[in-house]
């Protein structure tokens, strides 16, 4: 009796898998290791030291950029998640309607269009608005990041809604529950894992964005990634490694926290 196809039994699978993991994680490991380098080189090990973490912590520009990045990422992810929930409900909790496929494609448009195209488009629109209103605050960056992050929040929320059992919502409606009460007491508690996943993904995407931020930001609105890019153009020191390692740690903590929260809910 012949066995079904199993990619793990194919010749060279283990070698290719190991090579992929090495290529993916070895550069990250080296970045973390050299963030503790005592010397100024990013390629020559000169001993262990916390020097560059202290330097980054005491750098006022790094502090300002970090606070701005966190405020921007939190605000953009909140706006994107709210819009994604509404879009997901409209495309999963209603009868099929004409143009639904077009709406789905429009919501996911930032995933299909090159980021540089989105950045240039937003630059043109916001430049006109700035000229008319005279406003140059952080609001433009929040709107730009939110627009780009909506599909990243939309996909896990929509997937969660599609996987939910409709019988509870139907029972709530049969018991004279209004749509708002059914959503609040039945749909929302089941949807929380999808909302958390979507907001976390939108937060991470916004936190490390460079292209859109470079095109949309005004003077004095550097985020942490754009500050790091500016430093790389001048001089490269392990301080950049230390900042990158801190960003990596934040991402790992968020993913780990979401995993345990989702596990506890299950």
Residue 166, pLDDT > 50, answer: yes
CA dist 163 and 191 (Å) reads 10
Q: Which residue has the higher pLDDT, 37 or 41?
A: 37
252 versus 19: which is more confidently predicted? 19
What tens digit of pLDDT does each residue of 7-27 get? 677 777 788 888 998 998 898
Residue 193 has what pLDDT?
Answer: 83
Class for domain 60-265, per CATH? Answer: mainly alpha
What is residue 75's predicted lDDT score, i.e. its pLDDT?
Answer: 94
CB distance 56 to 245 below 8 Å: no
Judged against a pLDDT cut of 60, whether residue 266 lies above it is answered with: no
pLDDT tens digits, one per residue of 88-108 = 888 887 777 777 777 777 887
CA dihedral 20, 24, 25, 30 (to 10 degrees): 120
């Amino acid at each position: 009796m012949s066995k079904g196809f199993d990619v793990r039994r194919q010749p060279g699978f283990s070698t290719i898998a190991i090579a992929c993991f090495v290529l993916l994680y070895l550069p990250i490991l080296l970045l973390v290791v050299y963030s503790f380098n005592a010397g100024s080189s990013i390629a020559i090990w000169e001993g262990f030291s916390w020097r560059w973490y202290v330097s980054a912590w005491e750098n006022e520009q790094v502090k300002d950029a970090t606070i701005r990045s966190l405020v921007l990422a939190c605000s953009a992810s909140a706006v994107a998640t709210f819009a994604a929930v509404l879009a997901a409900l409209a495309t999963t909790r209603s009868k099929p309607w004409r143009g639904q496929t077009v709406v789905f494609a429009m919501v996911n448009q930032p995933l299909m269009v090159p980021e540089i195209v989105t950045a240039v488009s937003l630059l043109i629109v916001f430049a006109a608005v700035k000229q008319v209103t005279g406003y140059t605050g952080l609001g433009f960056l929040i709107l730009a990041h939110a627009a780009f992050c909506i599909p990243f929040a939309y996909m896990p929320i929509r997937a969660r809604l599609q996987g939910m059992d409709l019988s509870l919502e139907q029972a709530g409606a049969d018991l004279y529950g209004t749509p708002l009460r059914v959503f609040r007491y039945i749909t929302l508690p089941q949807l929380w894992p999808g909302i958390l996943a979507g907001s976390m993904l939108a937060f991470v995407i916004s936190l490390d964005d460079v292209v859109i931020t470079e095109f949309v930001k005004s003077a004095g609105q550097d985020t942490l990634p754009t500050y790091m890019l500016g430093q790389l153009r001048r001089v490269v020191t392990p301080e950049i490694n230390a900042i990158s390692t801190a960003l990596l740690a934040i991402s790992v903590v968020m993913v780990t926290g979401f995993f345990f929260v989702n596990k506890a809910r299950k």
